[in-house]
């Protein structure tokens, strides 16, 4: 297979939550493959901008709070800045931890609004843009191992990521005929801010590492290749799939 199948030259990717962690790794990888990037963040993303612009790619910054800023306004600003969108990576997410018996409605709503509601309506807006242009496109939702498993102490996160996988399949069913590929990446236990509490707990850290065949936490860069593949023409016949990048967790 020619490597040009993985080229993203001439395409623009909108990546949410790319100021650090998994989002930054995916945005940088997409830029390395040739895409210009629209970053949607609520915090400073200057470090990500610097890396991407150093590669000779364009970076357009949008400051928005997912769950608060209307998705239509985000996509309108992105299209105005970049001219078009070809790829959406729904990466931004929240996690709140507490036993299910104690979990608050406020924490439930905050996580669902960002992880599930905002992701769906951003995808809807990007799909409308692609269909209006008559253009092929790629939508990549960042799911989780907890799209497949229950987990503990993260009820709203589990619900949101399980729902996001279901929506990935639904959107794929409806939009594949329009040339829009909707897929998901399901990261395993990655060394990011969201897992800091787990890694700082010696007992929980040891338990998790004992369960991972690769015997290590994933690094943000481990997810980069999956994002490039699903965003490229190499994945044109891949629809509604969840690609686990988990060090073998689900295989055990």
Separation between Cα atoms, residue 187 and residue 198, nearest integer Å: 15
Q: Which of 59, 157, 189, 237 is catalytic?
A: 157
Q: What b/e sequence results for 75-112 when a residue is b if at least 16 CB atoms lie within 10 Å of its CB, and e otherwise?
A: bebbbeebeebbbbbbbbbbbbbeeeeebeeebbeebb
78, 36 in Cβ contact below 8 A?
no
Cβ neighbour number for residue 19 with a 10 Å cutoff:
22
Q: Is 50 exposed, middle or buried (0-12, 13-18, 19+ CB in 10 A)?
A: exposed
CA distance 91 to 26: 9
Cα 64 versus chain centre, distance:
16
Q: Is 59 a catalytic residue?
A: no
Residues annotated as part of the active site: 157
């Amino acid at each position: 297979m020619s490597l040009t199948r993985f080229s993203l030259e001439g395409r623009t990717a909108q990546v949410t939550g790319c100021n650090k962690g998994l989002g930054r790794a995916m945005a940088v990888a997409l830029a390395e493959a040739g895409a210009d990037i629209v970053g949607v963040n609520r915090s400073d993303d200057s470090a990500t901008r610097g890396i991407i612009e150093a590669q000779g790619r364009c970076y357009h910054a949008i400051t928005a709070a997912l769950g608060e800023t209307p998705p239509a306004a985000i996509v309108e600003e992105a299209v105005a800045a970049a001219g078009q969108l070809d790829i959406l990576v729904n990466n931004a997410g929240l996690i709140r931890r507490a036993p299910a018996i104690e979990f608050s409605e406020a924490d439930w709503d905050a996580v669902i609004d960002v992880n599930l509601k905002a992701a769906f309506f951003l995808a809807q807006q990007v799909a409308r843009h692609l269909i209006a242009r008559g253009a092929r496109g790629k939508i990549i939702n960042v799911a989780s191992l907890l799209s497949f498993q229950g987990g503990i102490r993260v009820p709203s996160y589990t619900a949101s990521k399980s729902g996001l996988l279901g929506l990935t399949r639904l959107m794929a069913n409806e939009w594949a005929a329009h040339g829009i590929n909707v897929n998901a990446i399901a990261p395993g236990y990655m060394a990011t801010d969201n897992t800091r509490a787990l890694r700082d707990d010696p007992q929980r850290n040891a338990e998790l590492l004992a369960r991972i065949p690769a015997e290590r936490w994933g690094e943000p860069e481990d997810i980069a290749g999956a994002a490039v593949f699903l965003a490229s023409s190499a994945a044109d016949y891949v629809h509604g799939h969840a690609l686990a990048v988990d060090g073998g967790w689900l295989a055990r």
